[in-house]
Amino acid sequence: MQTTFETLADPTRRRIVETLRGGEQQVNDIVLQAGIHQSGVSRHLRILHESGFVSVRPDGQRRFYALRAEPFREMEAWLAGYHQLWEARLDRFGAALERRKSARSRKEPGQ
């Protein structure tokens, strides 16, 4: 997962991912839409491909790039766990508040 996060930590790669959300594209189209120089796009596409974010489909001389769902599902699962940890932590926060309230009531029975 560390690699997954590191891959998307780069803002240029995030722009490429955003561009590919509309469907598979060739390098030239990505260059135009993302506004990034071709050499940069090629380098970042290679990294995205190596880390599993992007698939490549050759068609004659052309190469089409598309997003793969797996790493995004992996991140989603990680985030769900992260949310669960915080939900549990805030559950304990609420329980601690209740304990403080009970303790105060015992000290101040008249209220």
Partner 1 sequence: MSDNCNLDAGDTPLAPAVFERTYNTSIEELWALWATKDGFESWWGPEGFRVEVHKLEPRSGGALHYDMIADTPEAIAAMKQMGQPLSHNTKGWYEEFAPHTRLTLKHLIDFIAGTEPYESLIEVDFEALGDMARMIVTAHPHRDAHWTRMSIEGFRGQLTKLDRRYDAG
Among the candidate windows 26-34, 39-47, 59-67, 99-107, which touches partner 1 by CB under 8 A?
A: 99-107
Q: Which residues contact 54 (CB under 8 A, 6 or more apart)?
A: 20, 45, 48, 65, 66, 67, 68
Q: Does 5 help bind partner 1 (rule: CB under 8 A)?
A: yes
Q: What's the min distance (Å) between Cβ of 54 and partner 1?
A: 15
The nearest distance, CB 105 to partner 1, in angstroms, is 12
Residue whose structure tokens are 């009531």: 105
Residues 68-97 that bind partner 1 (CB under 8 A): 75, 78-79, 81-97
Q: Does 111 bind partner 1 (CB under 8 A)?
A: no
Contact between residue 41 and residue 34 where contact means Cβ atoms under 8 Å apart: yes
Smallest gap from Cβ 92 to partner 1, in A, equals: 4
CA quadruple 58, 25, 18, 66: dihedral sign: negative
Q: Return the residue of 37, 46, 63, 99 that touches partner 1, per CB under 8 A.
A: 99
d(CA 42, CA 14): 14
Query: Under the criterion CB under 8 A, does residue 32 sit at the interface with partner 1?
Result: no
Element (H, E) at 82: helix 70-107
Task: Output 58 or 93, the one with its CB closest to partner 1.
Answer: 93
